[in-house]
């Protein structure tokens, strides 16, 4: 049996078949044209009312099952785009290839790339409901948003009046015992500029590589203390510069704002390659010991390369290293009111220094809007001190919890009834579209839930098969219990 056939044979079969079909369509953020056409064609082939707004969001409406016409209308919402990340040694073209999946025990994984379970499982579940002929359900509005992973621009662009639903079920949570009723807002910070270059004084070239970090979601995994490749690389370069003097030609690390950077590479010129290599090895031993639990595959290496033709000026190098060292990364503050919840954080997501230009990117998150901007201003200040051009943009609001809403009470009670335990009703530090959608639909009750997904935004992403079955059963019974209109 082929690997795709193995996936299609899983239960519930409709969901896994739709997920397999979806994963054959390249769907990176900002390039969703193909998946928009795929979903639009899907709705039209079913003969359902299908529309696309000016941003590319797709809405498909399905009338209620016979006898359920008087139930409240439910909006089922998931995002179409996925994070495209792969291991450095994986040969894969996201623009042309479908995700290559396989079954690993009770899990489905991808071969060296992100899986797209975030949020493809949610999309596939909605597709399964739309295509079903025997599942009881209230009136459904299926909302497929675009560009959730790099700015939530689809949710921002959705206008009021496009939806008529009373309740929104967001299928984008990654733990099957959680009911999410609130989330953090976010803000992008970008620092750019140019710098003077000069000929190196060093007679040898070295390349330092930081690889094998666990990475993960910069919101949902930020509390786990995992290493950030950009911060580790800057730590190495700072110590080397102070002790042995190195000349930096280039540094490239990280790629996506919402992914904890897993790799960074620096090319440098040095006078004594043996001394620098030895010191890197010593520093690497300490750092790898520090991260032995969270990042057991961390690798820090130093190899010989040709002497770089140009390196950064002394002045820029000193200011740059200090600015990146000063940039906060990880947890900034825990919530004083909700136990265990990260209130504010920052991810130093991307560092690019090469050919006389630099670009640093951060994603700052907080469930408190004023604190989000306070953290962002502190980060901006560190980069402004090196005369960078700093911009703050793509801000999105958090989602304020409403623990006493009717849908939260219903789904909490139903979870206890079905699984004989209490659901974990919580807020998360990751960004969800509910906060944005709520600005144009303030009266709509919202809740987010989903199956167990680990390693989102990294090539370690996987989704649990048995948990998908649990999630599907819970979703169907939730729809069956939706109350009638007043």
Helices 369-384 and 314-326, packing angle to 10 deg = 160
Burial call 221-246: b when 16+ CB within 10 Å, e when fewer: bbeeebbbbbbbbbbbbbbbbeeeeb
Q: What is the DSSP letter of 71?
A: B
Pairing of strands 453-454, 445-448: unpaired
Handedness of CA 413, 174, 189, 82 (dihedral sign): negative
Whether residue 445 contacts residue 407, with contact meaning beta carbons closer than 8 Å, is answered with yes
d(CA 341, CA 427): 7
Q: What are the beta bridge partners of residue 348?
A: 362
Whether residue 333 contacts residue 344, with contact meaning beta carbons closer than 8 Å, is answered with yes
d(CA 113, CA 458): 7
SS3 308: coil
Whether residue 302 contacts residue 207, with contact meaning beta carbons closer than 8 Å, is answered with yes
Helices 33-45 and 13-23, packing angle to 10 deg = 140
d(CA 132, CA 188): 40
Q: What are the beta bridge partners of residue 60?
A: 50, 142
d(CA 187, CA 194): 24
Cite the active site residues.
81, 148
């Amino acid at each position: 049996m082929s690997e795709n056939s193995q996936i299609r044979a899983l239960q519930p079969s409709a969901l896994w078949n739709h997920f397999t079909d979806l994963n054959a369509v390249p769907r990176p953020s900002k390039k969703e044209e193909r998946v928009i056409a795929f979903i639009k064609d899907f709705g039209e082939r079913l003969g359902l009312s299908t529309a696309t707004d000016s941003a590319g969001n797709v809405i498909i409406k399905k009338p209620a099952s016979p006898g359920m016409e008087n139930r409240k209308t439910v909006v089922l919402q998931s995002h179409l785009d996925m994070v495209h990340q792969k291991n450095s040694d994986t040969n894969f073209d996201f623009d042309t290839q479908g995700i290559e999946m396989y079954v690993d025990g009770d899990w489905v994984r991808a071969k060296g790339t992100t899986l797209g379970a975030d949020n493809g499982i949610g999309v596939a579940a909605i597709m399964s409901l739309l295509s079903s002929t025997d599942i009881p359900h209230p009136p459904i509005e299926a909302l497929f948003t675009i560009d959730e992973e790099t700015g939530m621009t689809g949710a921002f662009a959705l206008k009021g009046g496009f939806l008529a639903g009373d309740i929104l079920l967001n299928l984008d949570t990654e733990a099957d015992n959680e009911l999410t009723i609130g989330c953090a807002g976010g803000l992008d910070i970008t620092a750019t500029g140019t710098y003077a270059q000069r000929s190196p004084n060093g007679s040898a070239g070295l390349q330092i590589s930081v690889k094998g970090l666990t990475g993960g979601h910069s919101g949902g995994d930020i509390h786990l203390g995992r290493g950030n490749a950009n911060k580790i690389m800057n730590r190495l370069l700072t110590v080397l510069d102070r002790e042995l003097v190195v000349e930096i030609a280039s540094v490239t690390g990280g790629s996506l704002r919402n992914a904890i950077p897993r790799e960074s590479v620096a090319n440098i010129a040095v006078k004594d390659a043996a001394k620098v290599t030895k010191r890197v090895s010593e520093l690497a031993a300490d750092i790898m010991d520090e991260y032995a639990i969270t990042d057991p595959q961390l690798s820090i290496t130093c190899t010989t390369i040709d002497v770089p033709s140009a390196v950064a000026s002394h002045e820029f190098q000193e200011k740059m290293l200090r600015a990146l060292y000063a940039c906060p990364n990880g947890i900034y503050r825990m919530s004083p009111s909700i136990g265990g919840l990260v209130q504010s954080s920052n991810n130093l997501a991307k560092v690019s220094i090469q050919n006389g230009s630099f670009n640093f990117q951060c994603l700052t998150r907080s469930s408190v809007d004023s604190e989000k901007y306070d953290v962002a201003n502190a980060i901006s200040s560190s980069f402004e001190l090196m005369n960078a051009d700093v911009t703050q943009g793509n801000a999105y609001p958090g989602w304020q919890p409403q623990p006493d809403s009717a849908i939260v009470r219903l789904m909490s009670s139903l979870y206890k009834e079905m699984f004989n335990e209490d659901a974990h009703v919580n807020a998360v530090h990751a960004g969800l579209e509910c906060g944005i959608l709520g600005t144009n639909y303030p009266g709509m009750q919202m809740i987010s839930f989903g199956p167990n997904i680990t390693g989102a935004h990294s090539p370690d992403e996987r989704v649990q098969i048995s948990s998908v079955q649990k999630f599907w059963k819970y979703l169907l019974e939730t729809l069956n219990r939706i109350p009638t209109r007043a």
